Structure 1
């Protein structure tokens, strides 16, 4: 349980990290300054002790240029401006100051005084400077590493609830949700901050999805029984009728009922196949394509009665498909039925091409029809209107293909309609 929001905790963590690093750097610089002071004084004392009992003086004043050390005389004669100068080769620091209280007259120069500080033996040698530079670099690098480690620890502590929630959500298999998955979130342990709100929303969402999946499974199981039972009863009644003496008109009616019943059975199976979450491992079965194509043609051939349209099957291969056989059969039935329904009399042939990895169904839609006088004419607007849409089942075919990892495409123009099913 956290008393502050995630935003506040992150801000506090950042401020704490900056404060600790600032204190560490401040102490480091303060220690370096004190060490430098002590080092200079110690070196001065050591140099004085080495010349004991005749004590040397590192700091001396000169009023005349001639009294300066020989290495500085030539430079002093150039009348340098007031200030502090350093001569590294001679290991001397020189302060130039003016001793006159009045303005110099024309042509005269302001008298100068020189304060010379001999740092020989006090300043560190060049080789020693490199060692100090290496030491300082090591200290700075160590402080940087400690600061980075501290920042990582503090920020991890601040965003730990987010990482914890992400790990819990990542462990949930969204493809196979169970009724207990939402309880794994346990939103109450995240408090009432932003992470708690997010965890509560995810928990409620998963709970609703789990309830929906349970209702869907119950519905499909019930619908599978309740919808197929009437179809079975009708099919049995039709078989009894076919065994009795029927007139020609009655046989046509029974045949229409049988076809309608078959269409209804196919439609029910199609929608149940789309609604089910699982189908008992049927999505990895292997089956031949040609038997299902032949079965679809026989089931839908009644749609070509009286149209004088031929069906040409060109089998270039004998492919096997891995997937759901019932879904593939439903898809092929839809493609064949749409081709048969939207082909008018004389607008043939309908071609079915079977390749190694695809099935192509093509039907003509713009052939000229012959009227009673023997003249050629275009189809009437009423006839042409039936060409648009090409059946509601093609949208279902698209969903079946997506579910099984197949691909479906349709190409329609003024001359023909071509549907392609690839696997």
Structure 2
């Protein structure tokens, strides 16, 4: 396992990379110096060999200006200071040194004709240097990548492990896949241990949630079913008018409770139940919602206008869609007062509109607002918003003091 922390491993990797590159550049400069030295000596020897048997006098000393080569006399008469000078056009290098007479200077002339490299060779050497620098740079870049990759390998391994975990379908054993014991006691190991514990808690929560929804689905629906059955038996009994009204209220409350239970169970389930890819028609669900909630219009002089401009099909969760439509219809029926109609339901290819009036004054105008919360319109719209988010639908509530309009898009 890793004996050093991530910080130390990165520092060591960086130091190793710098050390290797420094050695490479040092050997390169040493080789360049030796190669240049050998090249100069070789050029001198070749020049001497070409002049054989008379050996050339490349370096000469001149005590007087008049004895200098003609090309240098005019320059020497300007009494130049002590130092080294180069004359490229004449291929001469001149050193001005103190002479025997303190008022005069001596001159040492080095004739590099035939020794100094030609301009074409200079370009070749420049090309060699560029290639060498590029090679060393590429070597350093590749070495840096390899070294740093080795240094941060645990981080990449942990990221890959976490990436392979499907958070949408988290199982009870997924936290074991992190395996924090594989990452040592450094910073990566601490991070892996934290992720492992977090996933363990989430897995335990998912297990409890599934157990609760499975149990609640049975334990809550069973008494509702028993109540509905008892109400159906009571309907066949001889009841007074007062008893019939009480029975209707119990039936409506039971249906409301059943709808509420289905809504909360639908939201509580993290995993789908095989119905998210089902194709279903919108119109039957709208008609069923109107039938179920029509009792809310009893005693109200309110018409319900349905404009079916299309007969769309939706791919998704039919129960969730039915819950959404029931809530929209229920809110429209419940918040429409006597004579404040009509309630308009428009079905389009990709949208469903439900509009109801909340003011009896048709000339009254107010600034409309768009809200997505359930404040002021019942708890159901908050659940509608969450169901739409879960199923990829779009829900919008447009309200002012004259009317309320809801739009469901899919």
Counterpart in the other structure of 1:380? none
Counting only pairs closer than 5 Å after superposition, residues 391-402 of structure 1 correspond to structure 2 as 391-402=378-389
1:85 matched to 2:85? The reply is: yes
1:105-125 deviation per Cα after TM superposition (whole angstroms, max 9, x unaligned): xxxxx4232110111222212
Shift of 1:295: 1.0
Counterpart in the other structure of 1:382? none
2:329 and 2:53 map into 1 onto residues whose CA distance is 121
Counterpart in the other structure of 1:376? none
Shift of 1:180: 1.5
Counterpart in the other structure of 2:170? 177
Shift of 1:74: 2.7
Indicate if the aligned counterparts of 2:347 and 2:353 stay in contact, CA closer than 8 A: yes
Counterpart in the other structure of 1:286? 279
Counting only pairs closer than 5 Å after superposition, residues 368-383 of structure 1 correspond to structure 2 as 368=361
Counting only pairs closer than 5 Å after superposition, residues 22-41 of structure 1 correspond to structure 2 as 22-41=22-41
Counterpart in the other structure of 1:416? 403
1:69-107 deviation per Cα after TM superposition (whole angstroms, max 9, x unaligned): 1222232233333322111122110112343766xxxxx
For the aligned residue pairs, the C-alpha RMSD in angstroms reads 1.8
Counting only pairs closer than 5 Å after superposition, residues 138-153 of structure 1 correspond to structure 2 as 138-153=131-146
2:126 and 2:307 map into 1 onto residues whose CA distance is 85
2:376 to 369, 389, 408: 389
1:130-181 deviation per Cα after TM superposition (whole angstroms, max 9, x unaligned): 2222222222222111111111111111000011111111111111111121
SS of the residue corresponding to residue 110 of structure 2 reads strand
Counterpart in the other structure of 1:106? none
1:51 and 1:327 map into 2 onto residues whose CA distance is 104
Counterpart in the other structure of 1:311? 304
2:385 and 2:207 map into 1 onto residues whose CA distance is 26
SS of the residue corresponding to residue 334 of structure 1 reads helix
1:393 and 1:400 map into 2 onto residues whose CA distance is 10
2:375 and 2:38 map into 1 onto residues whose CA distance is 97
Matched length: 399
Counterpart in the other structure of 1:200? 193
Indicate if the aligned counterparts of 2:306 and 2:344 stay in contact, CA closer than 8 A: yes
Shift of 1:273: 1.0
1:157 matched to 2:144? The reply is: no
1:358 to 332, 344, 351: 351
1:405 and 1:118 map into 2 onto residues whose CA distance is 88
1:39 and 1:291 map into 2 onto residues whose CA distance is 96
Q: Unpaired runs of 5+ in structure 1?
A: 103-109, 370-386
Indicate if the aligned counterparts of 2:169 and 2:271 stay in contact, CA closer than 8 A: no
TM-score (norm 1): 0.90
2:77 and 2:222 map into 1 onto residues whose CA distance is 123
2:71 and 2:361 map into 1 onto residues whose CA distance is 118
1:212 matched to 2:212? The reply is: no
1:347 and 1:287 map into 2 onto residues whose CA distance is 33
1:224 and 1:198 map into 2 onto residues whose CA distance is 38
Q: Unpaired runs of 5+ in structure 2?
A: 363-373
TM-score (norm 2): 0.93
1:167 matched to 2:156? The reply is: no
